[in-house]
């Protein structure tokens, strides 16, 4: 599932195509994705002007001049692709309709935004602008890891006394929003913390060290266009590149990349998810 860097990359790709532009025509080609789509969704989107495009956790939000906000979650296999405009050095022409093109937005000026989702685990919804923090999928989310509310004292306090593994704690969206399995593995390796260590047994200093590492890993991943594993593509169809510099994720039985470490990356399963770490330099 796309994590924060992938969603932010898609948002940035959509911004010049959507922000300040009107949806000339919206097509909704099925009644549901993971859940039923909003009633009269095509009618409510057609003619609306996108005032602002933002991100909350792993969700993209488009504020419309109709007083509604469009909420998008990509799910496991959702892809948002742009055509009909010049993106970088390439002109992306409209492709022939594909079997899993479920939602199509034709924008004023000729651009087209197509949502393709073979597994249909994604989600599109509409809500009154300004009510998003009460939405069932957004209510209770923790602070953004790249925002000012997420700092060393906050994280140290939230981890103190927790009896869950630190990996599980960082994946708790109520503690910090947007982190997923890939980037938590990478953060823990950079800080030398084992994913199986109990969160409450970390010293305040070690807990605090997670904050700059989280910011650094996410920022680097966004700059690389995210990580392309399985279905993920950027909005222009290009792959992300951060997977080429993974230190531990997906590198089971390969040498640890910490300078001077002779360890080998190990894989363990925690709550049904794979954790990759070096048992030599991560304690």
Residues with Cβ within 8 Å of residue 172, at least 6 apart in sequence: 142, 164
Give me the pLDDT at residue 238, please.
Answer: 55
Nearest alpha-carbon partner for 210 in 233, 224, 194, 227: 194
Confidence of residue 171 (pLDDT cuts 50, 70, 90): very high
Mean pLDDT of 91-115: 88
Q: How far apart are CA 60 and CA 62, in angstroms?
A: 7
Answer whether residue 258 shows pLDDT above 70. Answer: yes
Sorted by sequence, the CB contacts under 8 Å of residue 148 that are 6+ apart come out as none
Catalytic hit among 2, 5, 143, 195: 2
- pLDDT over 90 (residue 225): no
CATH code of the domain occupying 4-134: 3.20.190.10
Does residue 39 carry a catalytic annotation?
no
> HSE-up of 249 (CA within 13 Å, CB side)?
20
Residue in 3, 6, 8, 132 annotated catalytic: 3
Q: Which residues, including other chains, have CB under 8 Å from residue 205's CB and lie 6 or more apart? A: none
Instruction: Band the pLDDT of 129: cuts 50, 70, 90.
Output: very high
- Is residue 56 within 8 Å of residue 138, measured between CB atoms? yes
Active site residue: 11, 55, 58, 247, which one?
58
Choosing from 12, 49, 267, 273, the catalytic residue is 273
2 is catalytic: yes
Which stretches does DSSP call E strand in the chain?
23-28, 50-56, 59-64, 68-73, 79-83, 85-87, 90-92, 101-107, 112-116, 123-128, 266-270, 273-277
The DSSP-derived string for 41-63 is: HHHHHTT-BEEEEEEETTEEEEE
- Cα-atom radius of gyration of the chain, to the nearest Å? 20
Res. 96 pLDDT band, cuts 50 70 90: confident
User: What pLDDT digit, counting tens, does each position of 36-90 carry?
Assistant: 999 999 999 999 999 999 999 999 999 999 999 999 999 988 999 898 875 554 4
Q: What is the pLDDT of residues 226-248, one digit of tens each?
A: 764 444 444 555 544 566 689 99
153-161, Cβ contacts within 8 angstroms, sequence gap of 24 or more: 153/208, 155/207, 155/208, 155/210, 155/211, 156/204, 156/207, 156/208, 159/199, 159/200, 159/202, 159/207, 160/200, 160/204, 160/207, 161/200
**In the chain, which residues fall in CATH 3.20.190.10?**
4-134
Question: Taking the alpha carbons of 173, 176, 180, 181 in that order, is the dihedral positive or negative?
Answer: negative
The CATH code belonging to domain 152-277 is: 1.10.8.50
**If 0-12 CB within 10 Å is exposed, 13-18 middle and 19+ buried, where does residue 237 land?**
middle
pTM to 2 decimal places: 0.90
Query: Per-residue pLDDT tens for 141-150?
Result: 999 999 999 9
Residue 93 falls in the annotated catalytic set: no
pLDDT digits (tens, 9 = 90+) for 183-224: 999 999 999 999 999 999 999 999 999 999 999 999 999 988
Specify whether 97 is catalytic. Answer: no
- The percent of residues above 70 in pLDDT, for the chain, comes to 90
Residues of the chain with CATH 1.10.8.50: 152-277
């Amino acid at each position: 599932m796309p994590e924060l860097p992938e969603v932010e990359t898609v948002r940035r790709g959509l911004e010049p195509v959507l922000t300040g532009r009107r949806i000339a025509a919206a097509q909704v080609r099925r009644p549901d994705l993971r859940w039923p789509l909003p009633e009269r969704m095509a009618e409510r989107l057609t003619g609306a002007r996108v005032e602002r495009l933002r991100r909350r956790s792993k969700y993209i939000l488009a504020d419309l001049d109709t007083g509604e906000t469009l909420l998008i979650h990509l799910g496991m296999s959702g892809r948002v692709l742009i055509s009909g405009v010049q993106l970088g050095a390439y002109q992306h022409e409209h492709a022939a309709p594909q079997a899993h093109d479920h939602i199509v937005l034709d924008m004023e000026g000729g651009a087209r935004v197509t949502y393709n989702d073979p597994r249909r685990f994604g989600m599109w919804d509409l809500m009154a602008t300004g009510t998003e923090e009460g939405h069932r999928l957004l209510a209770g989310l923790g602070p953004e890891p790249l925002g000012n509310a997420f700092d060393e004292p906050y994280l140290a306090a939230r981890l103190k006394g927790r009896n869950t593994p630190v990996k599980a704690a960082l994946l708790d969206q109520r503690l910090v929003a947007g982190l997923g399995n890939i980037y938590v593995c990478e953060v823990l390796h950079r800080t030398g913390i084992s994913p199986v260590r109990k969160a409450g047994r970390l010293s305040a200093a070690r807990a605090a060290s997670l904050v700059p590492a989280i910011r650094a890993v996410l920022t680097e991943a966004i700059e690389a266009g995210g990580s392309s594993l399985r279905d993920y593509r950027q909005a222009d169809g290009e792959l992300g590149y951060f997977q080429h510099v993974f230190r531990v994720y997906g590198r089971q039985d390969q040498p640890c990349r910490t300078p001077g470490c002779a360890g080998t990356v190990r894989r363990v399963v925690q709550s049904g998810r794979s954790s990759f770490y070096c048992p030599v330099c991560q304690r």
